Amino acid sequence: MKNESATIDVPAESSSAMKGKAPLIGLARDHATTGSGGYKRGLSIFDFLLRLAAIVAALAAAATMGTSDETLPFFTQFLQFEASYDDLPTFQFFVIAMAIVAGYLVLSLPFSVITIVRPLATAPRLLLLVLDTAALALNTAAASSAAAISYLAHNGNQNTNWLSICQQFGDFCQKSSGAVVSAFVSVVFFTILIVLSGVALKRP
């Protein structure tokens, strides 16, 4: 008798078990998303730290080039004895471009924080990737054009009769070369930032 009542109860249990299955599936889905959110959050934190480092590099480049004035302590009638970044339009472009890149990095810090807080949202990451690519292009352009002029200032060019000015203006040359190196460090940081955003955009 008791067995018969147990068999009558079985279909009711199975239907309630079926009703109960849906929230279990929902819970399993939540588990999977929080799992991937964990490593994406780690990538976002690394992204934020890299941005801070890139801000330092870009500002250092702009500031070093901007304060690279040098005046030699003697003079003659014919030659120029002052050197500043103003004298070369490429260096002017370098200072302006690095300042723009540093400003962009500061403005992109809130978006990076958003990707830390909401690791599964793709829109902020996509926006950051696109803007980072444009900033990478600007940064590389500034750094490499200044590098070309620095190379010319160090070595001169015999075929075009361009003299190397570094033999006179040692300090100016050193500072401008240091600024170019700092700008290339910032380029490396940008490359890593873009790769991070690309990897974090992947949907598992």
Partner 1 sequence: MKSGQAEIMETSKGIQKSGLMSRRIAILEFILRIVAFFNTIGSAILMGTTHETLPFFTQFIRFQAEYNDLPALSFFVVANAVVSGYLILSLTLAFVHIVKSKTQSTRVLLIVLDVVMLGLLTAGASSAAAIVYLAHNGNNKTNWFAICQQFNSFCERISGSLIGSFIAVVLLILLILLSAIALSRRH
Q: Which residues of the shown chain bind partner 1 in the complex (CB under 8 A)?
A: 80, 83, 87-90, 122, 125-126, 129-130, 133-134, 136-137, 140-149, 151-153, 157, 159-163, 165, 187, 191, 194-195, 197-199, 201-203
Name the CA dihedral angle for 170, 171, 174, 178, rounded to a multiple of 10 degrees: -170
Q: Which residue has the tokens 């068999």?
A: 7
Please enumerate in sequence order all residues whose Cβ is within 8 A of that of 161, keeping only pairs 6 or more positions apart, or say none. none
Structure tokens belonging to residue 104? 């962009």
Task: Supply the minimum distance, in Å, between the C-beta of residue 144 and partner 1.
Answer: 4
Which residue number, 55 or 83, has a Cβ lying nearer to partner 1? 83
**For the residues of 112-161, what is the DSSP string, one character each?**
HHHHHHSTT-SHHHHHHHHHHHHHHHHHHHHHHHHHHHHHHHHH-BTTTT
Which residue number, 59 or 135, has a Cβ lying nearer to partner 1? 135
Which residue number, 60 or 135, has a Cβ lying nearer to partner 1? 135
Task: Supply the minimum distance, in Å, between the C-beta of residue 39 and partner 1.
Answer: 14
Which residue number, 90 or 174, has a Cβ lying nearer to partner 1? 90
Task: Supply the minimum distance, in Å, between the C-beta of residue 191 and partner 1.
Answer: 6
